[in-house]
Amino acid sequence: MNLIRRTLSSLAVAALVVGTAVAQQTPPKPVPVPRPVTPEAPVPPPPDVDGKSWVLMDYATGQVLASKEPDLRVEPASITKIMTDYVVSAEVANGKVHMTDPVNISENAWRGGGAGTDGSTSFLKLNSQVPLKDLLYGLIIQSGNDAAIALAEHTAGSEQAFTGLMNGYAKQLGMTNSNFANASGYPIANHYSTARDIAILSRALIHDFPEDYAISAIKDFEWNGIKQHNRNLLLWRDPTVDGIKTGHTAAAGFCLAASAKQGDSRMIAIVMGSTSEKTRADAAMALMSYGFRFYETHKLYDGDKPLATPKLWKGQSNQLPLGVADNVLVTVKRGDYDKLKATLDIPATLVAPFTKGQQVGTLRLTLDGQPVQNVPLIALADAPQAGFFGRLWDSIMLWFHSDKKPDETK
């Protein structure tokens, strides 16, 4: 398919004027981002933190800013419970289970509280009934294995069936190197994940279920007369940290999924296989601090605003407004914003009909010639066909605008 490639000369003014300017096929004048009077030093490499594998991810874009062995398959220990949380939250959102459901504590769940990763338990009573919402608190804050199993059994009928949901949702999220064999994270064959996959999952939890994610910022929770503290040391160390989950077994080492928000920026750090509770906290904090200090996020284009209005043939309108579905954000190293380039790849000939939301082309972002993001360019409105005579006239006119015979009149 022949493509028309348009270069958008200024990214900085996108939020205000790029839609109108590009629609008129006149690129806007660059508006420089304010820079320091004196040049900034080059961005240093990321810190060499303690961990078998780790990932620093920008929440807004999902870009991995720094990593070590991000796709190494490792035991996730109680980090598994992030997926358990995600599945239960998704099933609540779908109306399959409810926060007010009374959940029966089976013998299997009760015994699970004293086994597995580190014996983490919410001290649930055998054959008691506990509201689903309270079990989520026990799962996330206390890391209760008994809570995890009880939630799995209630949500899917059995823990085995629940792992099918876990792996199904993992596939939907793009977690290509994970397989879950239980809901709590206790060591078992064929139960693994990666730092990158856990980062993808963590970002999805924050985005899709913010109210449930907020539970991970709570510092303690009491059940059955026993108060237990959240094991994420960063909650006490830095007020910008609001999650996510710890994990530990002898084989997995000390693991931590952490997130912090400063202003409009949020960072996610995943550390797997660290050597102690303190070093995993230090590692995650060092990574997030590096991200906040040396990277910057910019909104380039507004969602649902025209970036181009190319010629439309055989339509009731003679133009088709094209744009992006959601705001386009990009995160780059400090000082690299001016190096970004954007192009629109649009088919040379557009023939009606088109439906709103249909992908028509691609917005491509590059930095120093390397791809940064490819974003679908969609129709912002329905574009129905013209009547018979309108289509006939455009068919005739297309003979003069194309080096090949156009499609027959529809």
Q: What is the rounded distance in angstroms from the CA atom of residue 191 to the CA atom of residue 186?
A: 9
Helix (H) or strand (E) holding 330, with range, is strand 328-333
Percent of the chain scoring above 70 in pLDDT: 85
Confidence label for 391 from pLDDT (cuts 50, 70 and 90): confident
Confidence label for 333 from pLDDT (cuts 50, 70 and 90): very high
The pTM of the full predicted model, rounded to 2 decimals, is: 0.83
Interval 36-83: pLDDT, tens: 555 667 889 999 999 999 999 999 999 999 999 999 999 999 999 999
For the chain, domains (ranges, CATH) are: 3-33+299-398 (2.60.410.10), 53-274 (3.40.710.10)
Q: Kindly calculate the radius of gyration of the chain based on its CA atoms and give it in whole angstroms.
A: 26
Catalytic residue IDs: 78, 81, 143
Q: What is the rounded distance in angstroms from the CA atom of residue 368 to the CA atom of residue 111?
A: 57
Phi/psi at 177 (5° precision)? -125, 40
**DSSP letters for 88-149:** HHHHHHTTSS-TT-EEE--HHHHHHTTSSSS-----PPTT-EEEHHHHHHHHHTS--HHHHH
Q: What is the mean pLDDT of the chain?
A: 88
Bridging pattern class, strands 64-68 and 102-104: unpaired
Confidence label for 387 from pLDDT (cuts 50, 70 and 90): confident
The secondary structure of residue 313, as a DSSP letter, is: B
Interval 182-210: pLDDT, tens: 999 999 999 999 999 999 999 999 999 99
User: Which tokens go with 293?
Assistant: 């200090």
CB 332, CB 340: distance < 8 Å: yes
Residue 184 neighbours by CB under 8 Å, 6+ apart = 78, 80, 81, 84, 112, 116, 117, 145, 148, 149
